[in-house]
Structure 1
Amino acid sequence: MNAAERSARSTGSFPSSETDRLEIRNQLERILAHPQFRNSKRYPALLKHVVERTLEGRADSLKERTIGIEVFGRKPDYDTNLDHAVRTSAGEVRKRLAQYYVESDREGEIRIELPAGSYVPQFRRLPQRENNWALHIAQEPADGSLETPEAVGAIPPKRRLWRIGILPLAVVTVIVAAIAWTRANWSPQSGFEQFWAPVSASANPITLCIGPAVPEDARQTLADSTAPPTVLGIHNRDRVAFFDAVTLSRLTALLAEKGKRFRTLYSPQISLADLRQGPVILIGAFDNDWTLRLTGPLRYRFQQDLVSDILSIRDEQNPNRNDWKVDGRLPYLELTEDYSIVSRVSDPTTGETVIVVAGITKYGTLSAGEFLTGSRLDEVARYAPPDWRRKNVQVVLGTKVVRGSPGPPRILATYFW
């Protein structure tokens, strides 16, 4: 009995035999042949390495530095604080594993998981659904008892007629149950579910990023002051916009309802490494530097003319378009229209799914938050190509504003790639 088998049997865990390990290796090959993995070199190598080491009873060797050396060819003295190849790849493997099990019917398969914060995979069997459950329901007596079959020819005529009469009812019951099961299991996902699919599939906590209400120049003045910071000064500096906070509360309520773990971070105090630990939701535009940085390369992005104080959404494929804009010098109550962007992008900088919910002004952000957490998100599916849940998405929204009160969001443009 090898080390892996002794360990498994002592804990009663799975796998506990060579047959179990063979099943896991077969499952690994199925996963590696899936498009989530077969088109990459780095992620299959990492997953196969950690699975094999665990099955060999060498899980204690699965440390970041060791994996970097054995899988990615790093030197023994490489700096793991500067080189995040292992952490980044592990995060992507977790995401792709989750998507593999979500996207298709995987009942009866073995589930391979890589828990957050660990490089040691876990294995468990997915339950096998009873395929002919409707037939069993139709055939079993209501009281759960079993009838002993009578000899052929011994059935009284009245009882034979009763059985002949109930047969069509049993057939109808089976058909109705089968139709109900088919509808429940094959109905297409709503636009809402498809948009949120990458976040739902992630095993890592979601990071919500919100920015300060105080302008950057005012914050910099406070930071550059030679006088020690005061309690009131720090209090005023670290305020957030009320409508951003409302949007944050809507998103956290949605994530909590779906059972997702999340954390909220303050944009001036976080680093790129913080945004590489799972899906990210960026709230606000001009008050959130991370929104401006990560949406800069996209088709629809925010821009500001510092001379005229015109704030706008720029279309990089149609740069002459200039109707999605707000005059920053306009009297507050005269604003009649605001614009916002909702994006879902697999970001190359962070290696994670990044969702943006941001308006030119606070009204646009509030409207975008309403759109992203409500039934109007289903409307995106009308403009979307097939299989868009795996694509990047940008939606430009408009909202009417009447004396400081925003109206419902409406879709102005969409882009999928």
Structure 2
Amino acid sequence: MSESHSMLVAANEKQLAGDARWALALRVASSKGFAKAAHLRELLLYLVKRTLTAPGVEITEQEIGCQVLGRRQDYDTQSDNIVRVQIRHLRQKLEEYFATEGGTEPLVLTVPKGSRVPHFEIRSEPEVKTVHSDPAVVVETAPARSLRSRIPRFVQVALPGSVLVLAAFLIGRVSVRQDAANQALANPGSNSPLWSRLFTPAELTTIVIADSSFALLQDTLRSALTLDEYTKGGLRKLIEAEPDERLKTILRDMSTRQHTSLADATISSKLRVIGKQAGGRVTVRYSRHMGVRDFAAGNFIIIGSKRGVPWVELFEQDLNFRLKHIGPDWRFGFANLNPQAGESASYSTMVPPNTPTESYATVAFVPNTARTGDVLLLDGLMMEATEAAGEFCMGGGLNRLLAEKLHFTTSDKLPYFEVLLKIRVVSGAPHNVEVVAWRRPAIL
């Protein structure tokens, strides 16, 4: 192991403490299959650590050769294929581990062919007739409880309603009750032409769930970060610039947590059921684990706004309704770039006294970045609005819109579209979803 590799390990151990993916990598590295494979063990830990601490930043073959395998800085990767050979051996070792010693691991670690980036996926579980676990389990570890006692009150207030610990996904506890799954499949929206486009045996469909920790930290710091800043450590720089040392420590801890929203958990669980019934291959990935290149192949369903899923930025060029910072009170809304008759220039959440909250969401169907697959964007101004967007697609609302507004028939190819929804929120649940506007984007 090189000196710089050792420094990387030491510097990031604290950052990875409590991360279920890092804990899995350590278990794999200490397994019997890796006991006599020191190079593969070091390679595995380096790749995982590098991916978790610098998501979205490319891991080059040159870097691996120098940092892990002892090659000189100027070595020629064309004539020396040691990295490719070792990664191929690593894939084989990982397959062996999860087929034998790690056969009960709820999370599976792979390094896909053609990639050097580790991929974490929830293990597919066999169907059971009854699921006794609660459909939304909140897991709070001891470090999280300790942290809460030190977080300022304004941050504590934001936590319960906006985040669900992703560990619930990783241990396989977040699932839809069997009756809820059956209800989803019996719903007319389950047979939508949208699903026949998004869920196919030939293409992998990736459901991307929001990085709610990132959204919460932006709220705390009153800073809206771009996708470029998300992938290049912009949040870390903001945290380190915080003058209050006590708050800085808390923010550092918060930045290592992997939270998503209850809406994302609920919608993704139902979509997995629909996808499976449609014969598709479906995986769920956390926003922080994605990279730019991922969105060039396959189909995607992105749940959440760009505040929690900055990757939405990749598709904004095709959108008319875009999330913007509106007003001086850190309020966000959808900007209507080209208002038509009767439409407003922007739409934001309203909380009138003694009446239900009114919020908005968008549903957009656009191509992936390489125009080789399709992407569904479910974007709400608040958690309940995002949930409403998902239910609009899974219920009969989308089918009615396609037929009545977009004049779609089953003999047509499903067009790309964008819909703005108005939602009344009553007692923390979406109610009375109304279509406000729609567009047929001109996809080049």
TM bin (shorter chain):
0.3 to 0.5
Larger C-alpha radius of gyration, 1 or 2? 1
TM-score normalised by L of structure 2: 0.45
TM superposition score normalised by structure 1: 0.48
